[in-house]
Amino acid sequence: MGRGERDTVARGARLYEAAQALGADHGKAVEAVRAALAPIHAAAVRRELDAIPVARLQDVTEGRLRLGSVEKSGLRTLGSVLEAGPYRLRQIPGVGQRTVDQMLAAARRLAEAVHETVAVHIDVDRPDPATTALVMALHVLVEAGPEARRAVDRAAALSQRLGPLLTEARPAAGRLRMLLAGQEKKARAVAAVTEVRSLLDEAERAGLPELFAQASVDLLRGPSSDLAARVDFELRSAEYYSLLAEISGRLPDAAASEGFLPDEIAERVRAQDLDDTHRRVSLRGYQAFGARFALAQRKVILGDEMGLGKTIQAIAVMAHLAAGGQTHFMVVCPASVLVNWTREVEARSALRVTVLHGPDRHYAFADWQGRGGVVVTTFDALRGFPAPDAGRVGLLVVDEAHSVKNPAAKRSQAVAQWADRCERTLFMTGTPMENRVVEFRNLVRMLDGGIAESLGERDALAGSVAFRKAVAPVYLRRNQEDVLTELPSLQRTDEWEELSASDEEAYREAVSAGNFMAMRRAAYARPEKSAKLDRLREIVREAGENGQKTVVFSYFKDVLRVVEEALAATDTDGTAVFGPLTGAVPAGRRQQIVDDFAGAPGPAVLLAQIQAAGVGLNMQAASVVVICEPQIKPTIEHQAVARAHRMGQVRPVRVYRLLATGGVDERLVRMLEAKTRLFDAYARRSEVAEATPDAVDVSDTELARRIVEEEQARLGMSDERLTAAE
- Asked, for residue 572, whether it belongs to a domain, the answer is yes
Q: What CATH number has the domain bearing residue 607?
A: 3.40.50.300
Which of 459, 482, 505 terminates a domain? The answer is 482
pLDDT confidence bin for 613, thresholds 50/70/90 = low
Residue 467 belongs to domain with CATH number = 3.40.50.10810
Q: Which whole number is the average pLDDT over 506-534?
A: 93
Q: Are residues 272 and 315 in the same domain?
A: yes
Q: Mark whether 269 and 372 lie in a shared domain.
A: yes
Q: What is the mean pLDDT of residues 387-391?
A: 87
**What CATH number has the domain bearing residue 71?**
1.10.150.20
| Confidence at 119, pLDDT banded by 50, 70, 90 | confident
34 and 72 share one domain: no
Q: Round the CA-based radius of gyration of the chain to a whole number and report it.
A: 30
Place 720 in a pLDDT band, splitting at 50, 70 and 90. very low
pLDDT for res 571: 65
Identity of residue 698: V
Of 673 and 63, the structure prediction assigns the larger pLDDT to: 673
686 within domain boundaries: no
pLDDT, one tens digit per residue, over 392-443 is 999 999 998 988 989 999 999 999 999 999 999 999 987 655 446 778 888 9
pLDDT for residue 186: 76
Examine residue 245 and state whether it is found in any structural domain, yes or no.
Answer: no
Shared domain for 444 and 585, answered yes or no, is no
322 and 445 belong to one structural domain? yes
Are residues 63 and 35 located together in one domain of the fold?
no
| Backbone φ, ψ for residue 659 (5° rounding) | -130, 145
Q: Do 106 and 18 fall into the same domain?
A: no
For residue 683, is it within any domain?
Answer: no
Among residues 101, 117, 133, the one where a domain terminates is 117
- Residue-wise DSSP of 95-161: --HHHHHHHHHHHHHHHHHHHHHPPP---TTS--HHHHHHHHHHHHHHHHHHHHHHHHHHHHHHHHH
Please state, rounded to an integer, the average pLDDT across all residues of the chain.
Answer: 84
pLDDT at 223: 73
Clarify whether residues 529 and 616 are in a common domain: yes
Average pLDDT over residues 468-474: 85
How many structural domains are present in the chain? 4
Same domain for 496 and 614, yes or no, is yes
Greatest CA separation for the chain: 112
**Does 626 have pLDDT greater than 50?**
yes
- Please name which of 577, 507, 494, 574 lies closest in space to residue 535, comparing C-alpha atoms: 494
Which structural domain range is residue 211 located in? 3-43+125-232
- pLDDT, residue 541, reads 86
Residue 275 lies in a domain: yes
The beta-strand segments (E) located in 537-637 are: 549-554, 576-581, 604-609, 624-627
Confidence at 64, pLDDT banded by 50, 70, 90: low
Please check whether residues 171 and 54 belong to one and the same domain. no
| pLDDT for residue 691 is more than 80 | no
Distance between CA atoms of 147 and 212, rounded to whole angstroms? 10
* 513 and 466 housed in the same domain: no
Q: Name the domain boundary from 68, 88, 117.
A: 117
Q: Does residue 515 form part of some domain?
A: yes
Same domain, 95 and 159: no
The pTM of the full predicted model, rounded to 2 decimals, is 0.66
In a domain, 329, yes or no: yes
Position 510 in a domain = yes
CB 361 within 8 A of CB 427: no
Residue 689 or residue 419, greater confidence: 419
